[in-house]
Every structure is written in C-alpha cells, then in structure tokens.
Structure 1
C-alpha cells in the first residue's frame, strides 16, 4: 500500500523491470535505509512481476548519507544501470552542498 518507487524502468523486450529508489538518510541509518527499501518494495515487485509477466524485477536502492557516505551496494547498482562511476562522486557533491544549505538556513534563523 502506498508504494511508489522514484523510478521504474521497464524493458519490454527482455521482460525485466528495475525499481529505483533514492534516499539520503543520516550516517547511522544507511544500512537500515537499504533494508527498509528492499522490504518496502518487495510486495510491489512481486505484483508487477505477475501483472506484466516479467522474467526479472530488481529493486535498486541508491543511498548516500547526508554527509556523503556511500552505501555498499551503490557502486553495484550504478553498474547495473550502466552509469559511469563518476556519477557517484557528482551525487555526493550535490548531497553535501544541499546539506550545507540546510545548515546555513537553519543557522541564519538564530
């Protein structure tokens, strides 16, 4: 219920699907966030597999912490999406810059 991944990529010729979910947790919650995403979308993956008669369906959590730490499966998931490895460092940079913006806004409020 209420499961809607950020991106769903369907390959109708190969009969596959990749559910991609992005999250930016606190450093201490990286492993927990990965487990939650896999668990949360498991039922949806099963339903989509049955509904569209898919051969395979994958859940790919893309997780970088607020301080730029990378979850262990991120490189593997990036390769499965056929993305260049430098997309990870570019994503880390964007996450860190946004985190600093949030902190700066908060501190200006005082």
Structure 2
C-alpha cells in the first residue's frame, strides 16, 4: 500500500510526530476548550489554527531543505548532502514557536 513512498527513518519520525500531535491536540481540546488569542501572527487564532499554520510551515521548511540539500553541499563544499535530521529539528522548533507564541 505504501510502496510508492520512500519511508526513511526521518520521514517516518516526522509523520509519526504529526499523528501524535493531532491525537494530543484532540485530547487537549476535549479536556480544555480553546479560546482565541493574539500572538505574533497577524490574526487571532485558536490552538488548532496555530497547529495548522505550524504544520504547514514545518512542511515547507522540510520541502525547501530537501530541494536545496544538493545546493547546500555545493555552496559549502560538503562531501555529501546535509542530513535531513537538520530540517526535522528546525521545522519542529518553528512549529513549537508558532504554537507557543503565535
């Protein structure tokens, strides 16, 4: 069923984290309903809004990193492309920032 996708360890960890976040947010919403608040984002948002915006941002960071990894190796004279774990950590940090301060 999933033969069409290359399931490397970083990809599996990334999607597992997304699934865990969605399950956690659902449980959190049942326990404590969200309220609108204004952070650094230009609109008032709920937790779910911030999660959605953060997940989109994380996905774009990962896609940009994958697309530019070959260029990074060339620009910085690296022997091989940088590890995908760098983009994973960076995207999760941005997601955490959006969730906390957004």
Q: Same fold (TM over 0.5)?
A: no
Please identify which structure carries the higher strand content: 1
Question: Structure 1 length as normaliser, TM-score?
Answer: 0.31
Question: Structure 2 length as normaliser, TM-score?
Answer: 0.33
Please identify which structure carries the higher helix content: 2
Higher relative contact order (CA 8 A, sep 6+): 2
